Structure 1
């Protein structure tokens, strides 16, 4: 079997492949027709960030089993096209955790003591001893945004230096934070208390631009360090806050646009320390990701489980036609439930009733977890969602019963936090028509698609008219409505399918009416 390697990886990874008996072909300058020709008979492809694995490339590779990314980012790989072609895509997310954490610590020290600035002045012939008054880390508060693998490693290292730890991560349990000695807080509290702030969250639509001018004001007098992902910090706002002294210093290894443009205002700010995305640039990290990627290629070609597959389902092909609709229902129920819950998720329960309970439902459960975690995790899917739950300290339970009161088959996803829980039930109508049929006990008949608004309100005349009027005033067209109530005159819940985004101003107008108990805007199907 042939493994094509189109971006340089450490020799240790190539040795793993050769020792397994595979033919290894390297082509580090391949592109265009040359790449298509080389990959035509390849069984595996290993890349870093340099090779664009497009749908055209995948279509040309009729023998391809797996694309291995020697690193974490897979922006250069068309995962949807790979899935369509039945090609596994796997990355190496853990190989550079230590390197990224150590670079974060190094950047923190560099910012605290103005090491690069002092170095430049000394090399220029200045003995600027009196111009730099640094900050010690001992006794200071470290704010951590994103307590995933790298965030946890940073927490361990800086905790040992005597720092107090406060973290913002809505999806990690207090128990896991307690083990690290970190106090969980909301973002504003985390920022206002931090002397130093490090960022380790994935870049998602929710986190893009998350640290802007208002957040930097909350960090007043503190230092910001980002070795995570570019685009989370508003770079123009950061440059301005460094210039006016609001933020004492910053150290960034990642940027919204890379390479960093020549006109970036950060380049003009003395208190900004900048490195060219060096977080994973250590010999050990490069060897780790190379070996990890090679081992996954070996497993895939041996038809064994692939540890870090991003798109490979584990389901019997004969059962897939029966389970496919419930996979989508479970994922949707998870998305809805997660977006309705206030606060961090501590547990997820997936239950099955009726005929569906006779099936092997591991992949359906994983799909429900994918729905729960998709709003916060980068590249989450049914393969890695269970591991994300474990990493986050989220308890997951699955239950089955052959008994079903109202439906032939029913999937229920319940997400729970410290003080609340939300349950969403889904089923199929007429064999293949998906429906959300219960939300927190309210019986509805909602089409789970696109954009949805879910309201809770008192059950009295005029409320639905109010909601329709407010939506109309904000140019939001209601495509469908599904209403339920507890008792006459009690509380009601209504699900609206809408044709466009619902602005915050519309939600505010609704919530200003005392009859409206709550409004939640939810997006599904990537819309």
Structure 2
């Protein structure tokens, strides 16, 4: 498979891709039509912040499975368009956490003690010792905006230096904040309390420009540090507040537009320290994000869950061996149920019983949805299946119970509408052998493979013989048969594995017999 890399990454990441047998193509200057042409036959795309992955790029890449961002920020990737096209977007949030946190701490010390300014004056021959009276961190309050991975690491490091920590993050629990020694407060309270403010929130429409003139006024006599994302601080307002002395200083590593323009007002004030986006610029960080991203691309291409997928369910690496066999059986149960249902699918319920109920099954549920929608010939995978359900107005319910009467673990997929409902139950025999064990309550223990026929008929002598004879007459070979009945003389259900498609003439002939209640042809291999 071809993997296109359009921004430079460490050689260790390229080696991971090549070792997995992929063809790696690098194009660090690609844009416009050249980019569209290069990505058109790629299965994987790896970028950093330089490449804009737009809807046009995603629609040009018919074979694309995953976009890997070798870093944290993904504001250069159209995630909604990726989801619509069934493309996974994954980043590498852990690889540069330590590097970004350490740079934040370094910038905090630098602005508190005016280290760069003093250095420049000394190298210019000026001994300006009396001009700099720094601030100590011990006993001061650190305000953290965005208590994600980097924010938490910064909080831990500066807490150990004697700082009190307050934080604003509407997406984290008070319990989690308390565990790292931070008090969770509203943004205004965070700014008012902080002697030093550090920012680690993603750049979104909600966070763009969130630290403006009014917010900086609340930070009176304090310091601002941003090694997160540019655009969150109003740079004109920051320059003005540094000029009039409202804030004591600032240290920025990221900017709304990069590279930073030489006429930026940020460069006019001695109180503002700037570095050229060095937060992740350590050898270890670059190697970590490159290998992490490459490993996720390799996993996605072979159909395995992706650890840091942003628009698709993911599975913890340690849990994957336990859940992997159930992914296929959930998808299969969904396929069978959808093809047995009369009319459109309006509701889907996925139920987990037994041991599997203890697992995080989000990816398994997405696979069941993929199975339901796939026979309808929509372009669907586990990435966009939940979105397809939402777009189509299909209600999805997931439930769990630790109790399982007959099986160690059981997955049930029910599809329904106002007129009909079908439930298909699947499990694994001995942990590895997939089986469809019930269809609408009939115990069948069928092997889900290739092409299948499901018949409902009255339970009386000669019916199974009739079905076999008609199949044979029309050239359909029966490879296996699994039969169940509700009661003696009642209705029976039989699942047949067949080697070829069942002609309409064969179905018509069977349906002409009063003993046949219904007959459905099912394909699990995507072929008629």
Query: Is the TM-score greater than 0.5?
Result: yes
Measure the CA separation in 1 of the matches of 2:146 and 2:88. Answer: 28
CA contact (8 A) 1:95 1:285 kept: yes
CA contact (8 A) 1:357 1:400 kept: no
Secondary structure, counterpart of 2:24 in structure 1: strand
Which residue does the alignment assign to 1:154? Answer: 154
Which residue does the alignment assign to 1:262? Answer: 262
CA contact (8 A) 2:351 2:399 kept: no
Measure the CA separation in 1 of the matches of 2:251 and 2:125. Answer: 24
Secondary structure, counterpart of 2:239 in structure 1: helix
Measure the CA separation in 1 of the matches of 2:312 and 2:88. Answer: 6
Unaligned residue ranges in structure 1 (runs of 5+)? 324-353, 368-381, 385-396, 402-427, 432-527
Measure the CA separation in 1 of the matches of 2:350 and 2:87. Answer: 29
**1:43 offset after TM fit, Å?**
2.1
CA contact (8 A) 2:91 2:308 kept: yes
Which residue does the alignment assign to 1:123? Answer: 123
Measure the CA separation in 2 of the matches of 1:187 and 1:34. Answer: 44
Structure 1: 4+ residue segments shifted above 6 A: 320-323, 364-367, 428-431
Which residue does the alignment assign to 1:236? Answer: 236
Summarize the alignment of residues 420-459 of structure 1 with structure 2, pairs less than 5 Å apart.
Answer: none
Measure the CA separation in 1 of the matches of 2:347 and 2:81. Answer: 33
Q: Aligned in 2, Cα 1:213/1:63: closer, same or farther, shift over 3 Å?
A: closer
Measure the CA separation in 1 of the matches of 2:116 and 2:296. Answer: 40
Q: Aligned in 2, Cα 1:239/1:36: closer, same or farther, shift over 3 Å?
A: closer
Measure the CA separation in 2 of the matches of 1:207 and 1:112. Answer: 26
Which residue does the alignment assign to 1:134? Answer: 134
Moved more, 31-40 or 19-28: 31-40
Secondary structure, counterpart of 2:229 in structure 1: coil
Q: Aligned in 2, Cα 1:182/1:131: closer, same or farther, shift over 3 Å?
A: same
Unaligned residue ranges in structure 2 (runs of 5+)? 315-329, 339-345, 353-359, 367-381, 385-396, 402-415, 420-528
Q: Aligned in 2, Cα 1:44/1:204: closer, same or farther, shift over 3 Å?
A: closer
CA contact (8 A) 1:101 1:154 kept: yes
Measure the CA separation in 1 of the matches of 2:182 and 2:125. Answer: 44
Q: Provide Cα deviations, 1:112-165, integer angstroms capped at 9, x if missing partner.
A: 000111111112211111111111111211111111111100011111111111
CA contact (8 A) 2:313 2:363 kept: no
Structure with bigger gyration radius? 2
TM-score normalised by the chain length of structure 1: 0.60
Measure the CA separation in 2 of the matches of 1:358 and 1:8. Answer: 43
Measure the CA separation in 2 of the matches of 1:188 and 1:260. Answer: 29
Measure the CA separation in 1 of the matches of 2:337 and 2:209. Answer: 42
Which residue does the alignment assign to 1:111? Answer: 111
Which residue does the alignment assign to 2:4? Answer: 4
**1:234 offset after TM fit, Å?**
2.0
Measure the CA separation in 1 of the matches of 2:289 and 2:186. Answer: 34
**1:28 offset after TM fit, Å?**
2.3
CA contact (8 A) 1:309 1:383 kept: no
Q: Aligned in 2, Cα 1:270/1:170: closer, same or farther, shift over 3 Å?
A: same
**1:16 offset after TM fit, Å?**
1.1
Q: Aligned in 2, Cα 1:158/1:27: closer, same or farther, shift over 3 Å?
A: same
CA contact (8 A) 1:365 1:398 kept: no
Which residue does the alignment assign to 1:277? Answer: 277
**1:355 offset after TM fit, Å?**
7.3
Measure the CA separation in 2 of the matches of 1:248 and 1:193. Answer: 15
Moved more, 56-65 or 175-184: 56-65
**1:235 offset after TM fit, Å?**
1.8
Q: CA RMSD in A?
A: 3.3
TM-score normalised by the chain length of structure 2: 0.60
